[in-house]
C-alpha cells in the first residue's frame, strides 16, 4: 500500500506541475518545439529533393524534345532579308538565288519553302526552306557568303544592294534561338570570341585560342563566362519552344509559328499524301 500511495502522490505532483505555466512553457519550448521543427525540416527537405528531381527530369525531357525538334530541321535553312515580290513563288526565288551564287538547284530539290508570318506585317518576312536532300542544303549554306560578291545581273531575284541584307542561316528552334541571342550579346560585350551554329549545334569560343564548346542552355554559357544579365532566364523562356520580349524570336515568325504550315491533304513535310 505505501508504494501505491507514493505512486498516487507522484501522479498528483506531476498534474500540479503541468498546471504551472512555467513548466508547460519549458516543455513546449525545450521538448515539443524542437521535435516538431525537426520533423517539419525533414519533411520539407524530402519534398525539396523530390521537387528538384522532378525539375531535373522535366528539364531533361524538354531538352530531348528540343533536340528532336532541331534534328527535324536538319534539312532546313532560314533566309532573312530576301525581298518579297507580289505573287511570288518562293521556291522559284530560292532556285534563282542559288543559281546566282553558283549552286545548281532544281525545283525537285526543295521539299517546301514559304514565308513566315502574316502578309500584312511590316518589313520583309523571312523564308524557311526545307530541302529534299541534306547535301543540297549544305551546298547553299556553304555558298551563303558569296551572295554579296556574286554577279547579280538580269534574272537575279535580288539586286547587289538588296544582297547586302540577305542572310542564310540554320533554322533553329525557339529555345536555340534564345540561347544564340544571349551568346551574341556576350560576344558584343567581349566575353566570347565567337559564337555560331553548325547544322543546329550551337558553338562558342571564349578566346581565339580556346577550344570550341557546344552549348545547349544558358547554364552552359554561365559556366563559361560567369554571371551576366544576358543569362537571366525570363519566365516565358524557361522551357524550350518559347520566346519572350527578353529573348526575341530571331526567326521573326508571325502567328503561324516558325515551322511548316500544314497544307490540306499533305503531311508535315509538305508532300502530298497518297
231-268 pLDDT, tens per residue?
A: 887 554 444 444 443 444 444 333 333 333 333 333 43
155 confidence band (pLDDT: 50, 70, 90): low
Q: What is the pLDDT of residues 110-131, one digit of tens each?
A: 999 999 988 766 678 999 999 9
How confident is the model over 157-161, as a mean pLDDT? 78
Mean pLDDT of the chain: 82
Residue 4 pLDDT = 55
Instruction: Read off the pTM.
Output: 0.68
How confident is the model over 65-90, as a mean pLDDT? 93
Residue 161 pLDDT = 82
Which CATH superfamily includes the segment(s) 73-171+252-274? RRM (RNA recognition motif) domain (3.30.70.330)
Residue 3 pLDDT = 52
214-222 — which CB contacts under 8 Å span 24+ positions? 215/179, 215/183, 216/63, 216/179, 217/63, 217/179, 218/179, 218/182, 221/179, 221/182, 221/183, 221/186
226 confidence band (pLDDT: 50, 70, 90): very high
Q: Considering only CA atoms, which of 200, 165, 162 is closest in space to residue 180?
A: 200
How confident is the model over 44-54, as a mean pLDDT? 95
Residue 245 pLDDT = 38
All three cell numbers of 210, joined, read 580556346
Q: Considering only CA atoms, which of 119, 84, 128, 88 is closest in space to residue 250?
A: 128
Of 73 and 85, the one with more pLDDT: 73
Of 29 and 106, the one with more pLDDT: 106
Amino acid at each position: 500500500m505505501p508504494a501505491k500511495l507514493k505512486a498516487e502522490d507522484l501522479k498528483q505532483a506531476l498534474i500540479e506541475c503541468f498546471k504551472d505555466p512555467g513548466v508547460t512553457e519549458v516543455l513546449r519550448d525545450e521538448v515539443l518545439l524542437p521535435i516538431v521543427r525537426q520533423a517539419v525540416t525533414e519533411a520539407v527537405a524530402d519534398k525539396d529533393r523530390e521537387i528538384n528531381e522532378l525539375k531535373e527530369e522535366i528539364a531533361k525531357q524538354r531538352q530531348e524534345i528540343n533536340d528532336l525538334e532541331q534534328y527535324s530541321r536538319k534539312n532546313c535553312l532560314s533566309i532573312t532579308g530576301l525581298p518579297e515580290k507580289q505573287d511570288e513563288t518562293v521556291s522559284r526565288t530560292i532556285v534563282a538565288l542559288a543559281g546566282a551564287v553558283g549552286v545548281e538547284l532544281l525545283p525537285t530539290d526543295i521539299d517546301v519553302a514559304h514565308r513566315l508570318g502574316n502578309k500584312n506585317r511590316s518589313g520583309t518576312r523571312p523564308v524557311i526552306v526545307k530541302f529534299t536532300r541534306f547535301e543540297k542544303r549544305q551546298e547553299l549554306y556553304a555558298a551563303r557568303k558569296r551572295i554579296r560578291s556574286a554577279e547579280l545581273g538580269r534574272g537575279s531575284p535580288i539586286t547587289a544592294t538588296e544582297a547586302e541584307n540577305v542572310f542564310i542561316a540554320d533554322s533553329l528552334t525557339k529555345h536555340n534561338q534564345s540561347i544564340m541571342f544571349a551568346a551574341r550579346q556576350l560576344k558584343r560585350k567581349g566575353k566570347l570570341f565567337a559564337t555560331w551554329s553548325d547544322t543546329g549545334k550551337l558553338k562558342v569560343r571564349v578566346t581565339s585560342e580556346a577550344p570550341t564548346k557546344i552549348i545547349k542552355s544558358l547554364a552552359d554559357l554561365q559556366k563559361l563566362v560567369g554571371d551576366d544579365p544576358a543569362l537571366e532566364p525570363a519566365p516565358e523562356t524557361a522551357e524550350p519552344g518559347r520566346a519572350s520580349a527578353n529573348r526575341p524570336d530571331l526567326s521573326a515568325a508571325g502567328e503561324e509559328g516558325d515551322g511548316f504550315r500544314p497544307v490540306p491533304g499533305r503531311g508535315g513535310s509538305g508532300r502530298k499524301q497518297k
